[in-house]
Amino acid sequence: MIKRILICILFFVCCPTVFAGSFFNVAATGPSAQISMTLCLNGKGPLSCQTYTASAANLNITTTIPNHTYPSAGIKINTPGYMPKGCSMNGNGYCLFSVSNTTVATIPATPTTCQGTADLIVFSPAVTKVNNPTGNTSNPSQQFTINMTMCNSQGQPIIPSKNNPIHVNVYGAPNGVISPASTTASTGLVTFTYNGQSFPNNILINAWINDSTNNGVALGQTQVLQQNPLSCSYAPVSYNVPLAQALPNALQIKADIGYSASSPTSTLAVYTIDTGSLGILVPANELPQNANVIGPGPVGVTYYDSSGNTFSGNYYLAPVRIQTTTGTVMTQPVMVLAINKSYCSGPTTLSCYTNGAPPPTLHYMGVGFNRPGASPTNPQDLFSSPTANAFLHVTDASNGTDVTPGYYLTPNDTSAPAGLTLGISSVANYSLINLTPAPAVPGDFLTESGCFNFTGSGTPQFCGTVLLDVGIDYMIMQLPKAQWVAGTHEFNSAQQIEVVKAGTPMSIFFGSPTTMQYSFTAIQQFVENCAGDSGTNNVAPCYAQLIDSTATGQIFVNTGRRPLYQYDYLYQGQCGQVGFYKF
């Protein structure tokens, strides 16, 4: 020991702190830090595990067992605000690495960041995939761990404690499949047991913790997904929802936020539904103060690029109650934005700058998929995942497991039981498009392929992606200017936009190869909720705007809602399908 001290003094270095245990030696060097960790000889099990502490951030690990290499040793850092690097993260929360008594594994404990968003809980892994069965036989029980970094209003980690634990709740799982279903924790780690049984729908996990810096909360949502995707299936339960407003106007339903199924229905308000956006906006003064409503959480901003209307407020976790033809139906708690401010942003040619910013009284329910959410220009938009789509999280006495996530839109079909139905029970008679999973957002799907032309018949002319957006009554086409067809467009000086000339024949194609197509003759009616055309041309948008996309090369068409005059539409959000039925 004297010799070791002399060597350290002679070389002017700080001697590492050393913890010697039964299975591992941990030498910690580098920046000072108080690190608690669990080390396992087999991190996949996990098996042969012990808890260690260190007083510096760079962990140099060896085993005490001679002449044996452990190729899948595991480390889990128990101290909130740190993540291991230089190892391979496993689904159970352990980071795997190879180590022996002669081969040192260097694992830096790296401080996690709050990713620039205050009062946001960051999950690692971002989503969890469990080894679900594909047949009738259950798989072995397995555990998984989620690591959470809790960020306060100043963007710094919140350290949970017994006096201020983190609250974690599981929604949408069959009884007993995920346990615990509700828990609190005084660390940033929560370990769950999955019993190996099949589960039909993606499972939602909500988390929150009090934030003393602003008397609010930090909150977040993650998902448990199927590692082995199942074939599309359709559960029997669905809920018919009457429309409070129908075509040619925006589609509206009655709903409220934060109430229970047994609450009086006098608080139900009219909400516009929109397949071209994601997430719920509710006036802040309409949120009740009860145990169902968790918040205020992060500051949030939602921007609608079709108008420039922009709304800000705070995010909350709260259930949604929706009026049906026979009563009401509840959703699991989802993230909602309670708004108290509105303004214009984006290009000054947008209607917000002409009409002025609307008051922050919007009741809006975005139920689309592959919506962008946060961006470099708007990092405070947290609506970017299926967790924000209330229509995919309907619940009941069976935790929603008897409802296939999705919806039908049938506002002009007189044979349909209602203008909206929640839960996909059948796809009979629908022409289906199978969607591609979104690589960047697990559980979501990419916008379907599609094309358009300016001939009104024949084959597609310009191909990219296509969106049926019931939030608008006009059409938006993005096409590089070099490809614009002479004689089909003109500049409208009153609207300050380029539009397709009235009388131009057009066709829209969904899917590749084409699954559904429709044709119309372009019109120009520059009034909100225009009457449109009649007869077979009732699918024509109020007008068709042409946007130069030379900078991106993107080809895209947003059809607006008028195809619903002749077609029913469905979205199945579990396996990823859209469908059309011409009635």
Amino acid letter, residue 551: A
In this prediction, residue 349 carries a pLDDT of 82
Question: Residue ranges of the domains in the chain?
Answer: 14-111, 121-226, 239-426, 449-582
Residue 92 has a CB neighbour count (10 Å cut-off) of 21
The arithmetic mean of pLDDT across residues 541-562, rounded, is 98
Nearest to 80 by CA among 207, 197, 177, 200: 207
| Peptide bond connecting 248 to the previous residue in cis, omega within 30 degrees of 0 | yes
| 386 upstream amide cis, omega within 30 of 0 | no
Write out the H or E segment, with its range, that includes residue 450: strand 449-453
Rounded CA separation 453/442 (Å): 33
* pLDDT 10s digits, 200-254: 999 999 999 999 999 999 999 999 999 999 999 999 999 999 999 999 999 999 9
**For 121-226, CATH number?**
2.60.40
Q: What is the pTM of this model?
A: 0.84
CA distance 392 to 406: 6
Portion of the chain with pLDDT greater than 90, in percent: 82
**CA 135 vs CA 132, 138, 178, 458: distances in Å:** 9, 8, 19, 45
* Domain 449-582, architecture per CATH: Beta Barrel (2.40)
**In which band, very low, low, confident or very high, does the pLDDT at 14 lie, cut at 50, 70 and 90?**
very low
Backbone phi and psi for residue 444, each to the nearest 5 degrees, phi listed first: -105, 175
Q: Which of 484, 451, 480 is nearest to 465 (CA)?
A: 451
Share of the chain above pLDDT 70, in %: 95
The model's pLDDT over 268-307, given as tens digits with 9 standing for 90+, comes to: 999 999 999 999 999 999 999 999 999 999 999 999 888 8
Rg of the chain over CA atoms, in angstroms?
27
Query: E strands of 288-348, at which residues?
Result: 299-303, 309-318, 320-323, 328-331, 334-344
Q: In the CATH scheme, what architecture does the domain 239-426 have?
A: Beta Barrel (2.40)
Position 13 confidence tier, pLDDT thresholds 50, 70, 90: very low
- Please tell me the predicted confidence (pLDDT) of residue 516: 96
Query: Do residues 270 and 364 touch, judged by C-beta distance below 8 A?
Result: no
What pLDDT is stored for residue 116 in this prediction?
Answer: 59
Selection from 16, 20, 94 nearest residue 52 by Cα:
20
Domains 121-226 and 239-426 share a fold: no
Q: Report the mean per-residue pLDDT for the chain.
A: 92
DSSP-assigned beta bridge partners for residue 581: 568
Mean pLDDT of all residues in 155-172: 90
Please state, in angstroms and rounded to a whole number, the distance separating the CA atoms of residues 158 and 4: 39
pLDDT score, position 403: 98
pLDDT interval class at 149 (50, 70, 90): confident
Starting from the edge strand earliest in sequence, which strands make up the sheet with 182-185, in order?
128-130, 216-226, 203-211, 166-171, 182-185
* Cα→Cα distances 6→2, 13, 20, 58, 294, Å: 6, 11, 22, 23, 58
Q: Exposed (0-12), middle (13-18) or buried (19+): which is 475, by Cβ within 10 Å?
A: buried
